[in-house]
Structure 1
Amino acid sequence: MTTNTTVNPAGLTEADYAEIARELDALGAEIMEDLGERDADYIRRVIRWQRGLEIGGRAMLLASSLPPAWIAGTATLAVAKILENMEIGHNVMHGQWDWMRDPKIHSTVWEWDNVSPAEQWKHSHNFVHHTFTNVVGKDNDVGYGILRVTPEQKWHWAYLPQPLYNVLLAMFFEYGVAVHDLEIDKIREGTNDWEETRRKLRDIGRKVRRQWGKDYLAFPLLSGPQFLSTLAANFTANAVRNVWAHAIIFCGHFPGDVAVFEEERLDGESRGEWYVRQLTGSANITGGRFFHLMTGNLSHQIEHHLFPDMPSNRLAEIAPRVRALCEKYDLPYHSGPLSRQVTSTWKKIVRYALPAT
């Protein structure tokens, strides 16, 4: 059996870990102290563009019975939904813009445009995932509770059809994210708090009804005789957003030699060791400025894991310095084009569906 668990990459000493922590702490503090009006202008500009695209897309879908209007409206709405979920919702709810003290752009009030309740997502993602990144048995993002993506996960026959599971997860990714905080493993083991589970399910149900009422009832009704074509357009835009988000997130966590860790790694973990776990347990995706925008800058997943509260527009700025630090300490810096990262991720999903690996 092969393994990709990283215990002590490059034979780092305690002094190395302490110096890595000092350098990265200083880098993070430098950027956070430099935040100002240009950063605030950036997120406000992105929000304006996103809202304009959504209005434009929905306006075009009022004539959705016409193929050109359907295609243009669906594409525009899909881009708006991607921007809202990736560059705005994900990052606002991370608290990246809380420093602005803007009551409309704050992690405590933002509710994003998908079926996952914000409060549940913030617990499963901001706390659990970013604290226990890639620790098997602690980070539920390792396989999302249904996929085996590393040999450290014990094989079960239920993993055999996981390539099919993954296709369905991609198409309906927002629903997979919505149930993520339920901790499916605990439900299967019977160790969950059923009252808390029921409360979370009620919150998910309310959010699903809200989203379905908006996308699959209200806006299709507004288009009158184009009800069915608008309904199909909204479903398609949601599916496109889901597939894109799934691809970007999976490519940031599962491709190639990205490391996973046993729970023992957490015992007495220093700040420097935490930083190195983030570095070796993440992967970047190369591309241009528009590509990075459409990924929510999660194409800079390594930098995001190092500084989850840092505004997304600053991640590209620090990436060369993070890469230089990795070279200095002979640490891997996983990065590659989207096509390579997608291929590598899918190879893992197919490979670890089988019992011999």
Structure 2
Amino acid sequence: MGGVGEPGGGPAQPGAPLPTFRWEQIRQHNLPDDKWLVIERRVYDISRWAQRHPGGSRLIGHHGAEDATDAFRAFHQDLNFVRKFLQPLLIGELAPEEPSHDGPQDAQSWCLQHDLGHTSVFRKSQWNHVAQQFVMGQLKHHAKPNIFHKDPDVTVAPVFLLGESSVEYGRKKRRYLPYNHQHLYFFLIGPPLLTLVNFEVENLAYMLVCMQWTDLLWAASFYSRFLLCYTPFYGLPGALLLFVAVRVLESHWFVWITQMNHIPKEIGHEKHRDWASSQLSATCNVEPSLFIDWFSGHLNFQIEHHLFPTMPRHNYRKVAPLVQALCAKHGLSYEVKPFLTALVDIVGSLKKSGDVWLEAYLHQ
């Protein structure tokens, strides 16, 4: 076993003892151009490789200076294949006296088999990396739900305030909008514009400002294909109008279906929980039925959706009783709501956060 490594450790040499690091050293490496993470107690320097990550640099970057073992297992089907990419990035391992997680454990560390009921269209081949990059470039999944600046669904300040941001804005006397009425103006700008503005404009701005050229290329391929398909029929102005109309209609569905599982739950800064606890604390399910399953695209099983990000949605109903039983065994909360209650809770949570902001604004 090597001694305690220096904060600027380089790649591990083949056959040489691995240097060891403490969490206080690892935490220093969470910058855009200097990022480490821990997987299975081994320390990796992903500073340069993050830009090549098939799921995007933002997704893997959210785990900077943290233990990413659970997320690593949840998002990758063939762990042995992915470990080949990690090996050149290995710089050391956690010191024996250090805990595996840099933070409190809210529950026993348990991991559900992520590929339960899963069937893959990808095989081990030279095209596997390209195929995954295409899919993940088009379909992003948040691995840090309800965490500010790591989950785009809840990073909506200064338009809306949620969770801990309500207190922060109130204490700092920030009043860009009448947040105590945000549950009312939510209907005017939330469902109609969230997808169009937050997912289109904000993401494009991020890719341009941060020079995320790979992500920008995949986004450009989508817009090009859309315009090539519809411009011959409607002309360029008509195709653009169609795009906006579709996004606005989609936004109404998306906001109500996804936010009923998130906004009423705990929202705040990084708590450094284990995978299962972080997903369960940030999500809840909606009572299933044939109609709700179809209408929500099986996203009423939001807990399973987050625990098993690679599982096909039609299998959520099958695995849900197993997850619920396992949560009961380990004393973890597994919340299920009626559909209408979940919708009403969105408005109620916005009003509660607005009232918290007003209280802090007036009295702090």
TM-score (norm 1): 0.54
Contact kept? 1:97, 1:311, Cα under 8 Å: no
Give the letter for the 2:353 counterpart. Y
Q: Which sits farther off after the overlay, 193-202 or 329-338?
A: 193-202
CA distance in 2, matches of 1:326, 1:236: 42
TM-fit CA distance, 1:170: 1.4
- The equivalent residue for 1:17 is 108
- The equivalent residue for 1:142 is 154
What secondary structure sits across from 2:286 in the alignment? strand
CA distance in 2, matches of 1:310, 1:289: 19
1:356 aligned onto 2:359: yes
- The equivalent residue for 2:82 is none
1:244 to 219, 239, 253: 253
Q: Which sits farther off after the overlay, 321-330 or 300-309?
A: 321-330
1:64-103 to 2 correspondences below 5 Å: 98=122
List alignment gaps of at least 5 residues for structure 1. 1-12, 37-95, 111-117, 185-191, 222-226
TM-fit CA distance, 1:292: 1.6
CA distance in 1, matches of 2:211, 2:240: 34
Contact kept? 1:134, 1:142, Cα under 8 Å: yes
TM-fit CA distance, 1:141: 2.5
TM-fit CA distance, 1:232: 8.6
- The equivalent residue for 2:175 is 157
- The equivalent residue for 2:290 is 289
TM-fit CA distance, 1:317: 0.7
Q: How many pairs does the alignment contain?
A: 243
1:260 aligned onto 2:267: yes
1:310-329 to 2 correspondences below 5 Å: 310-329=311-330
Specify whether residues 262 and 348 from structure 1 end up closer, same or farther in structure 2 by C-alpha distance, changes over 3 A only. Answer: same
Q: Taking every aligned residue pair, what percent have the same amino acid on both sides?
A: 19
- The equivalent residue for 1:194 is 209
What secondary structure sits across from 1:253 in the alignment? coil
CA distance in 2, matches of 1:204, 1:166: 29
CA distance in 2, matches of 1:179, 1:210: 18
TM-fit CA distance, 1:199: 9.1
CA distance in 1, matches of 2:325, 2:303: 13
Give the letter for the 2:249 counterpart. V
CA distance in 2, matches of 1:138, 1:183: 16
CA distance in 2, matches of 1:208, 1:351: 39
Please list the CA deviations of residues 51-107 of structure 1 after superposition, one character each: whole Å capped at 9, or x if unmatched. Answer: xxxxxxxxxxxxxxxxxxxxxxxxxxxxxxxxxxxxxxxxxxxxx75469999xx55
Give the letter for the 1:170 counterpart. P
Specify whether residues 183 and 303 from structure 1 end up closer, same or farther in structure 2 by C-alpha distance, changes over 3 A only. Answer: farther
Q: Per residue, is there more strand in 1 or in 2?
A: 2
Q: Per residue, is there more helix in 1 or in 2?
A: 1
- The equivalent residue for 1:176 is 198
TM-fit CA distance, 1:313: 1.4
CA distance in 1, matches of 2:321, 2:209: 47
TM-fit CA distance, 1:133: 2.1
Specify whether residues 310 and 245 from structure 1 end up closer, same or farther in structure 2 by C-alpha distance, changes over 3 A only. Answer: same
TM-fit CA distance, 1:174: 3.5
CA distance in 2, matches of 1:97, 1:294: 26
CA distance in 1, matches of 2:314, 2:308: 12
CA distance in 2, matches of 1:97, 1:290: 28
What secondary structure sits across from 1:299 in the alignment? coil
TM-score (norm 2): 0.53
TM-fit CA distance, 1:306: 0.7
- The equivalent residue for 1:79 is none
TM-fit CA distance, 1:236: 5.5
List alignment gaps of at least 5 residues for structure 2. 1-103
- The equivalent residue for 2:280 is 279
Specify whether residues 240 and 280 from structure 1 end up closer, same or farther in structure 2 by C-alpha distance, changes over 3 A only. Answer: same
RCO greater where, 1 or 2, for CA within 8 Å and sep 6 or more?
A: 1
1:133 to 136, 145, 149: 145
CA distance in 2, matches of 1:98, 1:166: 41
Contact kept? 2:148, 2:155, Cα under 8 Å: no
CA RMSD in angstroms, aligned pairs only: 4.2
Give the letter for the 1:177 counterpart. F
Contact kept? 2:285, 2:335, Cα under 8 Å: yes
Please list the CA deviations of residues 199-229 of structure 1 after superposition, one character each: whole Å capped at 9, or x if unmatched. Answer: 97897677557646756x54447xxxxx99x
1:28 aligned onto 2:114: yes
TM-fit CA distance, 1:243: 0.5
